[in-house]
């Protein structure tokens, strides 16, 4: 018999969680950044966390391109918005055409995440998307743990659909981007909304 229970588990009490769980429970996606540069050592800390993400068969099928040049970031942002505006999806087109919208939210650091098309270790494409997603989560948590803000950017995929080799090394395909910087506001000021109900089942 499958018993469905509330998604609100005891760990929602942040004050009683250990440090790792506290970061997981308190982390927020940040979409407003200060213009200040991020120290290279902090970027390297976040990248190290990515490199230690789990991957199927230990394949580590990822590649990370760190962009801090403001002109390159703006060009990347502009091309992504143009791809959104030409997506053929009304909601996405409206966002892409907005003169106020920026895909990367003005963040000083953009990290492009690419995955191997064919895994070196197995000769097949098995789990690059899942593995790179695990690496992105590690980066988000690492950034939060050292006081930085980050946001996983999925809308860049409209650009990647039009240009499948965009900034990707040979043998890789672009998957997502992550932006990072110093938050310009306290994203934890408001309580986090409750988690969606009905997403956990127990077989007992």
The model's pTM is 0.90
Distance CA 147, CA 111 (A): 18
Q: Report d(CA 76, CA 147) in Å as an integer.
A: 26
pLDDT at 192: 81
**27-186, CATH topology level:** NADH Oxidase (3.40.109)
Query: Is a pLDDT exceeding 60 seen at residue 166?
Result: yes
How confident is the model at residue 92, as a pLDDT? 98
What pairs with residue 115 in β-bridges?
62, 173
Which pLDDT value is given to residue 2?
Answer: 55
DSSP class of 125: -
Q: What per-residue confidence (pLDDT) applies to 125?
A: 62
pLDDT score recorded for residue 12: 52
Residue-wise pLDDT tens digits, 194-204: 889 999 999 99
Instruction: State the chain's mean pLDDT as an integer.
Output: 90
- Specify whether the CB–CB gap between 168 and 174 falls below 8 A: yes
Per-residue pLDDT tens digits for 105-163? 999 999 999 999 887 766 666 689 999 999 999 999 999 999 999 999 999 999 999 99
CA distances (Å), origin 184, targets 107, 147, 155, 198: 10, 12, 22, 35
Report which of residues 189 and 92 the model is more confident about: 92
Average pLDDT over residues 74-83: 97
Instruction: Kindly state the tokens that stand for 181.
Output: 């910087």
Residue ranges covered by each domain of the chain: 27-186
Per-residue confidence (pLDDT) for residue 122, from 0 to 100: 65
């Amino acid at each position: 018999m499958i018993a469905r229970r509330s998604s609100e588990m005891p760990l929602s009490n942040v004050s009683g969680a250990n440090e790792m769980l506290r970061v997981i429970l308190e982390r927020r996606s940040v979409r407003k950044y200060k213009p200040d540069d991020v120290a290279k050592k902090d970027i390297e800390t976040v990248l190290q966390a990515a490199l230690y993400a789990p991957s199927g068969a230990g394949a580590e099928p990822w590649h990370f391109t760190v962009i801090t040049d403001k002109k390159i970031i703006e060009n990347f942002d502009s091309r992504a918005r143009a791809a959104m505006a030409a997506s053929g999806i009304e909601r996405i087109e409206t966002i892409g055409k907005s003169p106020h919208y920026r895909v990367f939210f003005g963040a000083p650091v953009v990290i492009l995440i690419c995955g191997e098309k064919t895994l070196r270790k197995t000769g097949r494409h098995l789990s690059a998307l899942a593995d790179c997603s695990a690496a992105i989560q590690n980066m988000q948590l690492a950034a939060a743990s050292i006081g930085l803000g980050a946001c996983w950017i999925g809308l860049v995929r409209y650009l990647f659909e039009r240009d499948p080799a965009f900034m990707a090394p040979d043998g890789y395909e672009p998957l997502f981007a992550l932006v990072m910087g110093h938050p310009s506001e306290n994203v934890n000021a408001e309580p986090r909304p409750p988690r969606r109900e009905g997403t956990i089942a127990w077989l007992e």
